[in-house]
Chains A and B, each alone.
Chain A
């Protein structure tokens, strides 16, 4: 009898800064057994990817969006994503250099988290956990199971 491998949880991250893309991918390295990070390089690419997911394709367990991106910014992607029934409750985090109260309020309005990009190693070490905290309890447990 064979046992099928459990599919990984997909974290979808859109950012036009390739250094930040690499940074977040590295941050999830500790969870590599359970998490696959899928990336997009601008807002339009992000929205196109999410819109193109078929019924049989797994939805991301978490969507991370940079705010300042070309073609379509992260806030516009968030608005569009929330208008798709499939994604109206999926956890989304705006991950940005901004610490503006207006941007935080925007995130709250669209039921999204808000994390300012870290500036040093002490903030960086906690970043994957901060992201995972936005997932549902079941997903959190699933992602962290190998660490128990």
Chain B
């Protein structure tokens, strides 16, 4: 200490100039590490994410599906519940494209004497009628219904995210942070909850509540949080002994401040990844429930119930099942691809497939 004081005293009259703060070997040769210092963590994440083509493709598809889910049902004059029995089972027909020989309302019918091509639009005289994805067994427009169904799936995706964030994250963080008896009890509860199959929870709920959106969200609430709370707890255990937590504690920060303001921002990477991975599971749960007829009640529709409807006539009118199946598969695939991409972007050490 005394040496430094002596040094300061000796230089008392000296006023530093700009030149004192330059690197000695000026210029690029030594330079500070611009590559790394110049970029924030998030900018790198974005760059890494966009480098992965599959993730970008997935994101584009999610955005496209979301846009159509919002705007699609309003793009023609039909509504999802409007029935027109005179115009049932019409094949897809799109103005413009019909001149190219596709989407012209033709469908091949299998009969005992072989297959033949029929055009119900011409046969029944609906020359001005266009069903872009065809019409179903009750004469409802499949285009409108598909996108309304996609809307349901996306709402479920949002619900799953919120549940993950609110319940799973909080549970895991608190359990990991307080440790000891609190952790003991919370982990035993989690073990029991995890020991009950999801299917059983959902079926029992359906006994008590009416099938519908609220029941499905409630079922997700009871099952979806477990994975996230595990991740949050593990990350919390890793971080809570760090110096900055100790520093914050010493400064008198409350537990809630430390959990949510100090630690949470540092574990956001794994949290986002986990959310993205839980979305496809949630969408799948809803679609599966609707498929077996326990989900969204009619006349509302979801992709699952549309697939189920189309399934009943998929040997005679295969076009009815194609749109919901493709949207469903694309949606699940895209969320998985984006989740994979995000995981790699957020944690470059983890180079899995």
To the question of whether A and B form a pair in one complex, the answer is no
Residues of chain A having any CB pair with chain B under 8 Å: none
